[in-house]
Amino acid sequence: MHPITTVHYVVLSAALLLIGTAGFLTRRNIVVILMSIELILNAVNINLVAFSNHFQEMGGQVFAIFVITVAVAESAVALGILIALFRNRETVAADEINLLKW
C-alpha cells in the first residue's frame, strides 16, 4: 500500500465538493440543499487542514476555524429564513418558490 500523501486528501476533498455541488444543484428540498452546502464547506476544510499540515503552517487551521464559524452563522440564518418561508408559502421545494421569476 502506498503511504497517504497530500494528493490523496486533495482528491478526497474534490470528490466531496463535487458530491455537494451535485446535491445542491439537483435536489428540490431546501433542507437537503442546506446540507449540501455543509458538505461543500467541509470539502474546503479538508483541503485547508491538509495543506496546513503539509507546510507545517497554522494559517490553514485558523482559516478552517473561520470557515466553520461562518458556516454555523449561515446555517442559523438560513434555517430562520426557511421557517419564515414555510410559514408564508407552505412549501420547501426550491422550484416552487418562483415569485420573482419572470
Partner 1 sequence: MATTVFFYIFAVMILGGALLTITRRNAVHAALWLVVSLLGVAGVFLLRGAEFLFVVQIMLYIGGVVLLILFVVMLVNLDSAAGQRQFNKQWWLAVACVLVVGAEVLYVIKSGVESFSLPEAAAGAASEAGSTEALADALFSEYLLPFEMASILLLVAVVGSVVMARKRT
Which residues, 22 to 61, sit near partner 1 by CB under 8 A? 22-23, 25-29, 31-32, 34-36, 38-39, 42, 45-46, 49-50, 52-56, 58-59, 61
Shortest Å, Cβ 93 to partner 1:
6
Distance in Å, CB of 48 to partner 1, minimum: 9
Residue 101 interacts with partner 1 (CB under 8 A): yes or no: no
Is 62 a binder of partner 1 (CB under 8 A)? yes
* Closest CB to partner 1 among residues 61, 99: 61
3-state secondary structure of 100: coil
Rounded Cα distance between 12 and 28, Å, is 26
Total number of residues binding partner 1 (CB under 8 A)? 73
| Cα 35 off chain centre by | 7
Alpha-carbon distance of 23 to 17, in angstroms, equals 10
From the list 87, 98, 99, 100, which residue makes contact with partner 1 (rule: CB under 8 A)?
87
Cell representation of residue 90: 407552505
Q: Does 98 bind partner 1 (CB under 8 A)?
A: no
CA atoms in the 13 A half-sphere facing the CB of 10? 7
- Distance of alpha carbon 64 from alpha carbon 51, whole angstroms: 11
